[in-house]
Amino acid sequence: MRLDRLRDRVASGPTLAIGLVLLSSLLYSLGYALSKRLIEAWHFDPMQLFVLRSLLALAGLAVWRLAGRGRLSLARLLSPPDPWAQRLAAAALVVSAVLAMIGYGRLPVTTATAFSYTTPLLVTLLAALLLHEAIPMQRWVAVALGFAGVLVIVHPGGSGSQGAGHLIGTGAALGSAILYAVYQLLIRRMREAAGTADAIGQAAIVGLVLLGGAMPFVWRSVPPGAMLLVVAATAAQTGGLLTIAAAIRQGQISQLAPWQYGGMIWAMALDLVMFGHAPGAVALAGAAMIVMGGLLSQIGLSSRRKAKRLEAGR
């Protein structure tokens, strides 16, 4: 009986949402690391990579529907519920993804991820201002601690922070973080009208519309080896989108925000395995601060939720 109750709490409570956030950060880091490999080894333009990703996503949705597992019809794809809000969210995601690929193409995976993970700070701020979520001081401290860990890892002014390429990559990563925060808020506000398949489909359609005109100027032939990486990157990034959308529907954005810093752990591991960039003691110290921020955000939250339920039941 106790095991059943524990299973129910994990399946419906914050534990599931946190697990989905951590999985999403792993999938996103893997997807962008593969994109970095494609940009460095085959010199693909980030816009072409997103167009290929969009075509593969639409093909996947079509196969899913033909298999009888999906409900996203062509009519719904072309005329979705709350269309302008969905398309605005999709546009934010498209531009964010392209900027992220530029950042990852010009920076080490760990550094690009560190800059892009300013998103949780922005999400918490915007959630408080626009969604009127109550943000306890403890959670602000947790997010700030996680962001401090990011700064420790990046250590601005270090030997790797010189040159125009670094500045372009940094600006792209920060711009990506801002737009991704906007995307998360829009998805949160549309959770009743639009599902995850809608988000994937709209991002693919809007991506083709926004970037299709540039293809004659940036398109390169795609050899089989590169195509396998494109498919793997698309699967990882789509999985990241699915899991973060599911996580957002499970709990408050601001509560989950500090856990997104866990992506730094995955980024350091991928940097080591795929690109031979071993994290030093400073990077490991920053990673520990990120984990501490995520844990701090959860201390005492369950007891406060129980107190609120008891008070509401009086």
**Residue 39, number of CB atoms within 10 A of its CB:** 19
Tally helices (H) and strands (E) across the chain.
Answer: 16, 0
> pLDDT of 31-62, one tens digit each?
999 999 999 999 999 999 999 999 999 999 88
Which residues, other chains included, contact 271 with Cβ-Cβ below 8 Å and sequence gap of 6+? 33, 108, 109, 110, 277, 278, 279
pLDDT at 301 (0 to 100): 53
**Any idea where the domains of the chain sit in the sequence?**
14-312
Closest by Cα among 142, 173, 93, 163 to 260: 142
Q: Phi and psi of 108, rounded to 5°?
A: -60, 155
The answer, yes or no, to whether residue 239 has pLDDT greater than 80, is yes
Q: Phi and psi of 118, rounded to 5°?
A: -75, -10
> pLDDT of 192-214, one tens digit each?
777 778 888 999 999 999 999 99
**Are 34 and 236 a contacting pair, CB within 8 Å?**
yes
Average predicted confidence (pLDDT) for the chain:
82
- Weakest mean pLDDT among 13-27, 122-136, 152-166, 192-206: 152-166
pLDDT at 252 (0 to 100): 66
Residue with tokens 């810093």: 261
Tell me the pTM.
Answer: 0.79
**Are 73 and 244 a contacting pair, CB within 8 Å?**
no
Using CA atoms, how far apart are residues 245 and 233, in angstroms rounded to an integer?
A: 18
Q: Which residue has the higher pLDDT, 233 or 289?
A: 233
> pLDDT of 244-285, one tens digit each?
878 877 766 667 777 877 788 899 899 999 998 887 888 788
- Weakest mean pLDDT among 3-17, 32-46, 224-238: 3-17
Query: Kindly report the CA angle at 174 between 169 and 177, in degrees rounded to 5?
Result: 125
The answer, yes or no, to whether residue 170 has pLDDT greater than 50, is yes
Where residue 10 falls among pLDDT bands split at 50, 70, 90?
very low
The answer, yes or no, to whether residue 174 has pLDDT greater than 70, is yes
